[in-house]
Amino acid sequence: MKRTLLVGLLLCSGLARAAPDECFWQGADTLVDRTHGWLSRSLCWPSRWVDGFFQDPLRENNEPASSLVRVTGEKLWREDGDGANDVDVDARVWLPSAERRLSLLFRSRDEDRDEQPVARNLPGTKDDGGFRGALRWVVDRTDAMDLDVDVGARSNLTTFVRARYRRLYPLANQSAWLRYTQRIYWEDPDGWGSRSLVELDRPLSPDTILRFSTEVRYTEEFNQAGTGLGLFQGVNLFKQLGNQSALNLGVGAGGRSKPGVVDNYRLYARYRRNVWRPWLFVEVEPFMLWPREQDYRGISGVVLRLETLFGKVDV
């Protein structure tokens, strides 16, 4: 009996050592892969060690924490000469032994620039700049709903608090999906604001999705200026071209409820491809803009992006 138990323990320990490390992608033994793996391990292993060292052996659901960092370099060309270069860093660090409830967020730009329903904001658009960090508390999360709260500060020593609620509703026997997102926030010194976003996803085929998006914004700045609400409307077509590439075609408009004007129209195509390694992506985004401030004269341009992920990458 003791011999059988000993053999079982040795086999289990051997399998544990041979199992792939979840902290990073197991690539080829090259200088690039070793460097990427070292950076990923330095992000992931400390939290795993803390979890393992302080873990209650009676709890089986204490999943080790992990971390992920995204570095994106962007280059913008516009025919009117308003180009820009930008490097953005986004990081999320799950705190150990917190049951996936607490995480630290670090961003080099406001998340609003990544989540425009009409189209992603381009480098050179309005941004308060600086770096921001926050502690995120996941209040509740299910397959169809999540609620979280962020408390943080910017590099200019201003603070902010944000609450986000998201809900997913199946429609017509799951032939379509409705997603509602509500954000309420307070930012120093801008004050209170809210964003209400409704997205309707309609699958056209197993690899093609049509999305209709509507967003309404309220800010104290809009209220004081008497411009009413910020209104955004967009339509996107997402097409998977293979295991490593996808295409996003989008058209949208943004404006204000008072005096009821459209500030800009936008038409764009965004091609994203995974290249060379699972953690490296390139994007090309040609676009056309028709801004009201330039009498809706058409302005063309293109954005090139190079994105690198560090940490645990799902492949």
Amino acid of residue 41: R
Lowest mean pLDDT among 88-97, 142-151, 229-238, 275-284: 88-97
Write down the pLDDT at residue 92.
85
DSSP string for residues in 201-222: EEEEETTEEEEEEEEEEEEHHH
Query: What is the per-residue pLDDT across 63-108, written as a single tens digit (0 to 9) for each?
Result: 444 578 889 999 999 998 888 888 888 888 888 767 778 888 988 8
208 belongs to a structural domain: yes
Looking at the DSSP bridge assignments, the partners of residue 94 are 103
Phi-psi region of 314 (alpha: psi -120 to 50; beta: other; left: phi over 0): beta
- For residues 277 and 126, the model is more confident at 277
294 belongs to a structural domain: yes
C-alpha angle with apex 130: 127 to 131, nearest 5 degrees?
A: 115
220 belongs to a structural domain: yes
Can you tell me the mean pLDDT for 215-236?
Answer: 91
Lowest mean pLDDT among 17-26, 91-100, 178-187, 239-248: 17-26
Task: Give the total number of structural domains in the chain.
Answer: 1
Gyration radius of the chain over CA positions? 23
Contact 299/275 with Cβ under 8 angstroms? Answer: no
Write down the pLDDT at residue 314.
60
12 belongs to a structural domain: no
Round to whole Å and give the CA distance between 32 and 212: 41
Write down the pLDDT at residue 45.
52
Query: What is the per-residue pLDDT across 135-148, written as a single tens digit (0 to 9) for each?
Result: 999 999 888 899 99
Write down the pLDDT at residue 50.
42
Q: By percentage, how much of the chain surpasses pLDDT 70?
A: 73
Provide the pLDDT confidence category of residue 174 given band limits of 50, 70 and 90: confident
Three-state DSSP at 186 gives strand
Round to whole Å and give the CA distance between 314 and 246: 17
Lowest mean pLDDT among 16-30, 49-63, 71-85, 199-213: 49-63
C-alpha angle with apex 169: 163 to 173, nearest 5 degrees?
A: 170
pLDDT at 173 over 70: yes
Tell me which residue range forms the domain holding 83. 70-311
| CATH number (domain holding residue 194) | 2.40.160.40
Element (H, E) at 18: helix 2-18
51 belongs to a structural domain: no
27 belongs to a structural domain: no
C-alpha angle with apex 24: 20 to 25, nearest 5 degrees?
A: 75
8 belongs to a structural domain: no
Contact 76/303 with Cβ under 8 angstroms? Answer: yes
pTM value?
0.78
18 belongs to a structural domain: no
